Amino acid sequence: MNALALPVVLPLLAAFLVRPAGLASGSLARWFGPLVLLLCAGMLVDTALLTHGQPVSANIGGFAPPLGIVFYADSLALLFAIAVPAFALLLWPREAMQAGGDRISALMLLLVGSGTGMALSGDLFNLYVFYELLAVASFGLVASSGSARAWAATVRYLLISGFGSVLALVGVALIYAQTGTLNLAQLSEFAPERLANPLGLAAFACLLIGFGVKAELFPVNAWVPEVYATAPKRVSALLAGVVSKLAILVVLRLILLVFDLPEARQSLLVLGLIGLVSGELAAWRARDLPRMLAFSSIGQLGLLFMAVSIPGVLGLIAALAVALHHLLMKPALFLLAERWSGGLENLAGAGRKAPLAAGLFTLFALSLLGVPPLPGFWAKLVLLLGLGQQDAVLAQAAIFGVLLMAVVEAHYLFRLVGLLYAKTAHGAPPHRMGDLAVASLLGAILVASMPLLPALAQGLGWMAHQASDVAAYRAVTLGSTIPGVAP
Amino acid sequence: MNPPDLITILISGGIGLVAIGAVGMAVSRHLLRLVLALAIAEAGANLLLVLAGYRWDAVAPILTGATVTRPMVDPVPQALVLTAIVIGVGVQALAVALLIRVKEAYGTLDIRELKTRVEQEICGAAGIAPPESANKPGGGQPYPVPVTTSRESA
Amino acid sequence: MHKLASLLFAIGLAALLIGLAAQLPLGMTPMVVGQAILEQAPGETGSANIVTSVVLAYRGIDTLGELAILFAAATVAGLVLAPSIHAESRLRAKPRHDAGLVLRAGSDLLFPLLLSVGFYIVLHGHLTPGGGFQGGVVLAAAFFVSFLARPARQPSHVGIVLIEALAGASFIGIGLAALLGGGAFLQPVLDKGTLGQLVSAGSLPLLYLAVGLKVGAELSGLLAHLAE
C-alpha cells in the first residue's frame, strides 16, 4: 500500500504550487485546492473500500520499520483521515476563493496534508512534525481575518502552542532516552518494561500537554475564547471540529499502544472533568454566541477526554461516539453563529426572521444536550455506562459532574432557544446560502443517523475492537505479512 | 574532568534552559520577551533531545574511510534535532512578524494591556458592555498613567 | 504574588525534571534503531554521513514536513505583513538610502564567496557535516547581505516564489518518481556510486540541493518581508 503516502503528500505539493499557479491564472489557483482535496478524499475512500477496513501499512522510503517511518491505516485512522479533506472542502474559506486568496488556499492545503498525516502516521516524532505543521497553518488561518484583534489573539495562541511543543519535545526526548526507538509499534513492545515507571508517566504528561493545546485540554486552553471570537467562523469551525479530534486521536493511540497505565487514564479523567466543569460554567456566563460556543466546545472536549480515559472497548466506543457527534455538531453551530455574532440579548426574535437557521440551531442544541431520540443522548449514555463500570470514587464523581453540567448546559441552551423565538423584532442580516446549506447537510446527517443507530453502534464496536488490538497493530506495521489486501 | 561529569553538566544545562524559559514565559509581560523565553526553552528541549543519543565514548556518525576503532553516537537524535531547530526558527520568525503588526495596531506589546484591549474590541463588535477589568483599582479611582521607560519605548 | 507563584512552579518543574533525569541511563542510552541504522545505512543509501541518511532517507517525510513548516511560516508572514495603505505611506515618507562605500564594496565581495560556500555545504551534505539546511541558511545570508547594503534594490518577490515552489515541488517530485517506479515514496533511487565520492549516494544530493534552495528562498522571503 505504498500509495497511502499520496493523500498526505499531494496537498503539500499543491500548496507549494498554488502561488505560482496564481501568478499564471487566477481562476486556476482558485479551483486548484478544492480539486486536489477532492482527489485526496477519493483516494482515501478508495483505500477504505479496497481493504474492507482491514489494517494496512506503508513504509515511507521503502525502509522496514522501526528504521523508517511507517503509515498505518485501520478503519479508525481512515475515518478521521477522510474527515479532514471532507470537512476542509465543506468549510473552504470564502477568502480563498477571492482574488489574492492563494496564500489562504496554500495554508488550507497544508492543514489538510498535515491533518491526514497525523491520522495515519505511526511514528512519534513524525506525529510531532505534522502537529507543528498543523499548528503553523492554523495560526495563519486565524490571522487571515486581517483584524488587529485577530493578530493579537494569534500571538497568544502561538505562545501557548509553542510552550506545548517544547514540552512535547521534552517528552519525545525522555521516551527516546529510555527506549531508543520512536516507532509506536516497537514502543508498545518496550513500554511495559521501560516506560511503566515515573519517567514514562512524566513523558506521557509532557506529550499530553503538548498535543492537548489543540484539543483544548484544561491547563492549556486559554487561547480558545479569543481565537474563536476573532477568527473567520469557518476556520473556528475547522479548528473546533476537526483539528481538535486529530489531537485527541494521537492521545488515544498513545494511551492504547504505549501508556496503558491506570495513572495516565486517571490524569485524563481529572483534566477532562475540570475542562468540562470550567467550560460549561464559562459558557453559562458568556454573553455572546461565538464565545458561548467556544466555552461549550472546551466542555464537550473535556467530556471526550473523560471518554478516552475509560479502559477497554466500551471506553473506545464512548470516545468514538462523542467525537463523531461533536465533529458533526460544532462546525454547524459555528456556521450558524456567523451572522448571529452579537450579544445574546440582540438575538431576541432572530428565529422568526430565519426559521431554518433557528430550527437547525434548536436541533443541534437538543442533541448537544442529549435529549433521548437524538444521537447525542446515546453518546452520553455510553459514556455514563463506561464510567459506571468502574468502582473508583473518581468515576462516581465524574458521573455526578457530567449530570450536573447537563443541567447547566440545559439552562443556557434553553435560554438561548427561548430568546431566538421571542416575540420581538430583530434586525440581524440573513445567513449566507452556502453556510446554511452546509449546516443543513450536517443536520440531515445527524437526523438520518437516528434510524441507523443499531448498525452504527455495531460499526463503532467493530472499529473499537480493531483499534484496541495492539497485537494486530504490531503485526501489520512490523511484521512482513500484510493480511487482507486484495490485489 | 572525566566524561560522565560532562554529561551531568550538559543535562543540567538543558533542564536549566527549559526552566529559565518556563520562568520567563510565566513572569514576563512584554510579548517580545515571551518570544525570547520560548526560544530559550526550545533550545533547552533541543539540547535534551540530542543528549538522548549521546555516548561519551563515541565519535560522530560520519564514515571517513579510516578504520573505525571507536563506536559512533546514535544518528537519529541528531537528525531529529536538525528538524526541531528548523521548526523553531520558522515559528519564531512568524511570531516576530505578528508582533510587528500588533505593535503597529495597538502601540504596545504589554500582554495584559493587549488582553484588555482585545476583550473591549470583541465586546464592542458584539454590541455588549465590556466586563469589569480585574486589574482595576478599587474605590472608583482612575487608572494610573502607564509608566513607559525609555528602554521600552525605544 | 503572581511572580512568586510562577517562580515556584518553574522551580518545581526543574526539580521534577532533574529528579527524572537522574534516573535516565544517560551516556549509555539504549541504541535500538540507531544501532541498526549505523550498520545498514552505508550499504542502503551510499552516504558517508549517516545523519544525512537519516534526514533524507529513513526519515525523509519528516524533512518534507519541516520544509512545509518553513513554507507555511513564510506564507503566513507574507499574509500578515502584506503591504497595507499604512505601511506604504510610511515607505514613501522615508526613502531608503544605500549604505556607505565600505559596506557596499564589502557586500559585493562577500556575495560570490557566500554563494559558493553555501553551494559547497549543500552539495557535500552526504560526505561531511552540513547539508541543505545549513547551506540554505548561508545562501539566504548572501542575498540578505546585499539587501542590507542596498535597501532600495528589493529582492524579486516573483523570483523567490518561483524558486521556493520549484524546489519544494522537485523534492516531492523525486519522491513521487520513486513511487511511480514501483518503490515507496521517497525511496532512494539512482546509482549509489562509491562511498565517499562527490557523485555518490544516488538521489540524496539532489534532495539536499532542493532542500538548500527551498530553505534559502524561504529565509530570504521571510527576511525580506520582515525588513519591509
- Residue range C172-207, pLDDT digits in tens: 888 888 888 777 777 777 767 777 676 677 778 888
Q: Is the pLDDT of residue B143 over 70?
A: no
Torsion B111-B113-B117-B120 (CA) sign? positive
Q: Is B153 a domain residue? A: no
C-beta separation of B77 from A176 below 8 A:
yes
Give the integer Cα–Cα distance in Å for A410 and A365: 9
Separation CA A234–CA A146 (nearest Å): 15
Contact at CB, A155 and B99, closer than 8 angstroms: yes
User: Does residue C100 register a pLDDT over 70?
Assistant: yes
A244 in Cβ contact with A215 (< 8 Å) = yes
Residues B136 and A351: beta-carbon distance below 8 Å:
no
Inform me whether the C-beta atom of residue C15 falls under 8 Å from chain A C-beta atoms.
Answer: no
Please state, in angstroms and rounded to a whole number, the distance separating the CA atoms of residues C172 and C63: 11
Half-sphere exposure of B94 (CA within 13 A, CB side): 35
In this structure, of A209-218, C13-22, C212-221, the range with the lowest mean pLDDT score is C13-22
**Is pLDDT larger for residue A467 or for residue A424?**
A467
Distance CA A177, CA A197 (A): 14
- Report whether pLDDT(C226) > 80: no
Domain extent listing, chain C:
2-227
**Is A172 at the interface with chain B, CB within 8 A?**
yes
First to last CA, chain C: 41
**Per-residue pLDDT averaged across A476-481, rounded?**
69
b/e map A451-477, b = 16+ CB within 10 Å: eeeeebeeebeebbebbbbbebbbbbb
Residue contact C76–A107, C-beta within 8 A: yes
Q: Is residue B147 domain-resident? A: no
Distance between CA atoms of residues C53 and A296, nearest Å: 47
Give the list of residues 6+ apart from residue A161 with CB closer than 8 angstroms, or none: A135, A139, A213, A214, A223
CB A152 within 8 A of CB B24: no
Contact A61 C61 (CB under 8 A): yes
Cα(A246)–Cα(A128) distance, rounded to whole angstroms?
A: 12
Question: Which chain A residue has its CA at the smallest distance from C63's CA?
Answer: A129
The CATH number that applies at residue B45 is 1.10.287.3510
Q: Helices B75-106 and C33-45: crossing angle, nearest 10°?
A: 100
The pLDDT value recorded for residue B87 is: 92
d(C-alpha C183, C-alpha A59), whole Å: 10
> What are the residues facing C49 on neighbouring strands?
B62
Beta bridge partners of B30: B110
Asked if the Cβ–Cβ distance from A169 to B45 is below 8 Å, we say: yes
Most confident of A142-156, A332-346, C18-32: A142-156
Nearest Cα to A89, choosing from A30, A33, A16, A145?
A33
Written as nine digits, the cell of A163 is 510552550
Q: Are A366 and A272 in contact (CB under 8 A)?
A: no
Instruction: Give the pLDDT mean for A168-197.
Output: 87
Model confidence at A129, pLDDT cuts 50, 70, 90, reads very high
Q: Tell me the residue type at B127.
A: G
pLDDT in tens, A246-257: 999 999 999 988
Residues in chain C closer than 8 A to A183 (CB atoms): 33
Residue C40 in contact with partner chain A when CB distance is under 8 A:
yes
**Residue owning grid cell 460554567:** A281
Mean pLDDT across B110-129: 80
For the segment A183-228, what is each residue's pLDDT rounded down to a tens digit?
A: 888 888 888 888 888 888 888 999 999 999 988 888 888 888 888 8
Q: Are strands A56-59 and A70-73 parallel, antiparallel or unpaired?
A: antiparallel
Please answer yes or no on whether C14 and B19 come within 8 Å at the CB atom.
yes
Q: End-to-end alpha-carbon separation of chain A, Å?
A: 10
Q: pLDDT at residue A485 above 50?
A: no
State how far residue B128 is from chain C, nearest Cα, in angstroms. Answer: 29
Residue B16 lies inside a defined structural domain of this protein: yes
| Nearest-10 crossing angle of helices A102-120, A6-24 | 170
Alpha helices (H) in A244-374, listed in sequence order: 244-253, 262-285, 289-309, 312-337, 350-353, 355-369
Check residue C201 and report its DSSP letter. S
Cell numbers representing residue C119 in the block: 553551494
Structural domain boundaries enclosing B34: 3-57+74-128
Residue C133 near chain B (CB below 8 Å): yes
Do C54 and B79 make contact, defined as CB atoms within 8 angstroms? yes
> Residue C163 — very low, low, confident or very high, per pLDDT cuts 50/70/90?
confident
Q: Check residue C1 and give its pLDDT.
A: 55
Confidence of residue B134 (pLDDT cuts 50, 70, 90): low
Query: Cis link prior to A93 (omega < 30° from 0)?
Result: no
The helix/strand/coil state of C209 is helix
What is the model's pLDDT at position B38?
93
Q: Facing residues of A57 across strands?
A: A72
Phi, psi angles (nearest 5°) of residue C169: -65, -35
Considering only CA atoms, which of C219, C181, C205 is closest in space to residue C57?
C205
Q: Do C188 and A61 touch (CB under 8 A)?
A: yes
- DSSP per residue over B3-21, as a string? HHHHHHHHHHHHHHHHHHH
List the single best residue of C32, C66, C218 to mutate versus B (max B Cβ within 10 A).
C66
B46 or A352, greater pLDDT = B46
ipTM of the shown complex: 0.89
Chain B positions touching C72 (Cβ under 8 A) are 90
Name the residue with cell 499502544. Answer: A257
The mean predicted confidence, pLDDT, of chain B is 78
Question: What is residue B67's predicted lDDT score, i.e. its pLDDT?
Answer: 58
Q: What's residue B152's pLDDT? A: 42
Q: How many CB atoms lie within 10 A of CB A169?
A: 29
Give C123-157 pLDDT, tens digit per residue. 887 877 888 888 888 988 888 888 888 777 766 77
A20/C71 Cβ within 8 A: no
Put simply, the chain B residues between 7 and 66 with a CB less than 8 A from any chain C CB are 7, 11-12, 15-16, 18-20, 22-23, 26-27, 51-56, 60-65
pLDDT exceeds cutoff 90 at A131:
yes
C189: left (phi over 0), alpha (psi -120 to 50) or beta: beta
- CA A377 – CA C147 distance, rounded (Å): 63
Of the candidates C206, C178, A96, the residue with the CA atom closest to the CA atom of residue C214: C206
Classify C128 as helix, strand or coil: coil
Nearest Cβ partner of C72 from A8, A58, A133?
A133
Can you count the helices (H) and strands (E) in chain C? 9, 0
C-proximal residues of B, 60-119, CB under 8 Å? 60-65, 72-80, 82-83, 86-87, 89-91, 93-94, 96-98, 100-101, 104
Q: Which residues of C touch B62 (CB under 8 A)?
A: 48-51, 128-129
| Residue B85: inside a domain | yes
Residue C115 pLDDT exceeds 50: yes
What is the tens place of the pLDDT at every residue in C66-91? 999 999 998 888 888 876 544 444 55
- The model's pLDDT over C42-71, given as tens digits with 9 standing for 90+, comes to 777 777 788 888 888 888 889 999 999 999
> pLDDT, tens digit, for every residue of A41-69?
898 888 888 888 788 888 888 788 888 88
**Residues of chain B neighbouring C44 (CB-CB closer than 8 A):** none
Nearest residue of A to residue C41 by CA position? Answer: A67
Evaluate if residue B147 carries a pLDDT over 70.
no
The size of chain A, in residues, is: 487
Task: Kindly give the interhelix angle for A289-309 and A375-389, rounded to the nearest 10 degrees.
Answer: 40
Q: Reduced to 3 states, what is the DSSP secondary structure of residue C91? A: helix
- Cβ distance A288 to B126 less than 8 Å, yes or no, reads yes
Beta strand ranges found along A53-133 (DSSP E): 56-59, 70-73
Pick among C33, C52, C190, C215 to test the A interface (most A CBs inside 10 A)? C33
CB neighbour class for C6 (10 Å; exposed up to 12, middle 13-18, buried from 19): middle
Looking at residue B41, its pLDDT comes to 93
Q: Any idea what DSSP says for residue A180?
A: S
- B140 assigned to some structural domain: no
Q: Which three cell numbers stand for residue C202?
A: 544516488
Asked if the structure places residue B65 within a domain, the reply is: no
Tell me the chain C residues in contact with residue B53 when contact means C-beta distances shorter than 8 Å.
Answer: 29, 31, 34
Supply the pLDDT for residue A313: 87
The reply to whether residue A230 touches residue B122, judged by beta carbons under 8 angstroms, is yes
Rg (CA), chain C: 22
Lowest mean pLDDT among A261-265, B41-45, C181-185: C181-185
Work out the average pLDDT over A410-415.
Answer: 87
Q: Is A177 an interface residue toward B (CB < 8 Å)?
A: yes
Whether residue A9 is predicted with pLDDT greater than 70 in this model: the reply is yes
- Give domain status of residue B149, yes or no: no
Tell me the three state secondary structure of residue C26: coil
The dihedral formed by the CA atoms of C62, C65, C66 and C71, expressed in degrees to the nearest 10: 170
Cell of B63: 564514515
Rg (chain B; Cα; Å): 23
Higher pLDDT, C108 or A28: C108
- Domain-located, residue B111: yes
Q: If you search the block for the grid coordinates 468540562, which residue do you land on? A: A276
Chain C: closest CA distance from residue A306 (Å): 26
Closest-CA distance of chain C to residue A446, Å: 35
- Provide the pLDDT confidence category of residue C96 given band limits of 50, 70 and 90: low
CB of C26 less than 8 A from some CB of A: yes
Q: Give yes or no for a contact between C157 and A103, defined as CB atoms under 8 angstroms apart.
A: no
C-alpha grid cell for residue B74? 546514535
Mean of pLDDT over chain A: 85
Restricting to C residues 2-31, those with a Cβ less than 8 Å away from any Cβ of B are 3, 6-7, 9-11, 13-14, 17-18, 21, 24, 26-29, 31
A355, with CB counted inside 10 A (0-12, 13-18, 19+), is: exposed
Is the pLDDT score of C99 beyond 80?
no
What angle, 0 to 180 degrees and rounded to 10, lies between the N-to-C axes of helices A75-90 and A453-467? 120
Question: What does the alpha-carbon distance between residue A141 and residue A105 come to, in Å, rounded to a whole number?
Answer: 10
8 Å CB contact between A358 and A435: no
B55 has which bridge partners? C27, C28
What average pLDDT does chain C have? 79
**Phi/psi at A59 (5° precision):** -90, 115
Number of domains observed in the structure of chain B? 1
Report the residue of B49, B50, B57, B63 to disrupt the C interface, i.e. the one with the largest count of C CBs within 10 Å: B63
Question: Which chain B positions have a beta carbon within 8 Å of A143's beta carbon?
Answer: 98
Quote the pLDDT of residue A138.
93
Cell 502601540, located at residue: B107
